[in-house]
Structure 1
Amino acid sequence: MSPDLFNFYDSIDSLLARISCSLRDSNSETKEISNDSLLELESLFGQALLGRALNLVYNKTPIKLYRTTNGTGQLFEVHGSKLDVVYQIYPGVNFCTCESFRYWVLQQQHQPTCKHVLATQLALPLGRLTEITIKDKAYVELKADLIRARFRSLQPSNASAGEGSSKH
C-alpha cells in the first residue's frame, strides 16, 4: 500500500474519531454531525456514497449492533438495498461482501469503502442503531455462520446436480 493511501485512511480515521468525540461531548439529545464535518466527509467519500450511507443510518430499518456481554465481540448487521439482504460488518474492519465493495473498492480502487461500512462508522456515534447483547456462545455461532455463508458463496453453483442457489 502506498504512503499516500496510508495518509488517506489516516485522514478518514482521524475525521471519524473527531466526529465521535464531538458527538459524545455534545449536550444535545439529538446528535447531529456538524456542517464542517459533513463537508469533510463529503470531500473524502463523495456526495453519492455519503448520501447513501446516511440514508442507511436514518432508514426505518435500524442498523443492529450485536455485542457480547463483556463487549469484546461485536458485529453490525446492515440491510442492503434489497430488504432481504443483510450484510455483517465487523467494527474496525473495512470489508463488506456487497457488490459495490467488491467492484468499487477492491477491483477499481475508486472508493475507500462502501455505504454499509461507512453507515456503521456513522451510526455508532450518532446513536442510530439498535444494540443487542448476546452471549459469547451466540456470538461464536454468528461468526461461524458468517464464515460458512462466505465459503458457500465462493463455491461454484452446481446447477447440473439439481442444487438450487441460495441467497446470502
Structure 2
Amino acid sequence: MFFQTTMHTLLEIVLRDLSTDTLDDSLEKLRFLFPETLLLGALDLIDRDSVIMYKTPWGRAQYEVLGSTATYTVFPGLPSSKGYASAYCTCPAYAYSVLLSETQLMCKHVLATMLGRRLERCIERPIDADELASVIARQCSL
C-alpha cells in the first residue's frame, strides 16, 4: 500500500514536470516507474494517435484508446480513498495486472491517456449529448 501510494505520488510529480523537463529526462524518470514494454506501448499509442478525447460542449471529457484488438474506455483521475488520483481501464490487462495481481500501477492505455493529456497529444473530437449517449452505450455493451 505504501509502495503504491509512493509510486503514484512520483508519477504525479513526473507528469506535472513533463512540460518543464526535457523529454529525455522525463522518459528516464518514467522508465524508473514503469517496465519498458508498458512505457513503449503507451508511447506507441500516442504516436499512432490512438488516444481519443470526446469533448462535450459543457466541458465533459470521455476517453477511448484504440488498442490493437479493441477499443478501451479509460477513466483517468478518479477519486481514490488511498490519497492519490486513480484511474480505470476496460482492458483485460488492467483487470489482471492492476486489480487482481497488483503487479502494475496501470495499463498502457491509462498511461497513454495520462501522457497524451499532459503532452496535448489526444485526438480531440467534439461530441454532443446524443453522440455521447451512443458512445457510452457502446462502451457499456462491451
Same fold, TM exceeding 0.5? yes
Given candidates 89, 92, 116, the residue that maps to 2:77 is 92
- Find the residue that maps to 1:95 and give its secondary structure: strand
1:58-107 CA distance string (max 9 Å, x none): 01x53211011121x1111111122xx10111232411121211111112
Q: Answer whether contact 2:54 2:62 (CA < 8 A) is retained.
A: yes
Larger radius of gyration: 1
- Find the residue that maps to 1:100 and give its secondary structure: helix
Give distance in 1, aligned partners of 2:101 and 2:50. 30
CA-atom RMSD in angstroms:
2.0
> Mind listing any 5+ residue stretches in structure 2 that lack a counterpart?
79-86
Q: Does 1:79 align with 2:66?
A: yes
Identity %: 31
Alpha-carbon offset, residue 145 of structure 1: 4.0
- Quick one: higher RCO (CA 8 Å, sep 6+), 1 or 2? 2
Give distance in 2, aligned partners of 1:65 and 1:75. 6
Higher strand share: 2
- Large movers: runs of 4+ above 6 Å: none
Aligned residues: 134
Equivalent position amino acid for 1:128 in 2? R
Give distance in 2, aligned partners of 1:135 and 1:5. 37
> Mind listing any 5+ residue stretches in structure 1 that lack a counterpart?
24-32, 150-167
TM-score (norm 2): 0.82
- Find the residue that maps to 2:20 and give its secondary structure: helix
Give distance in 1, aligned partners of 2:61 and 2:133. 10
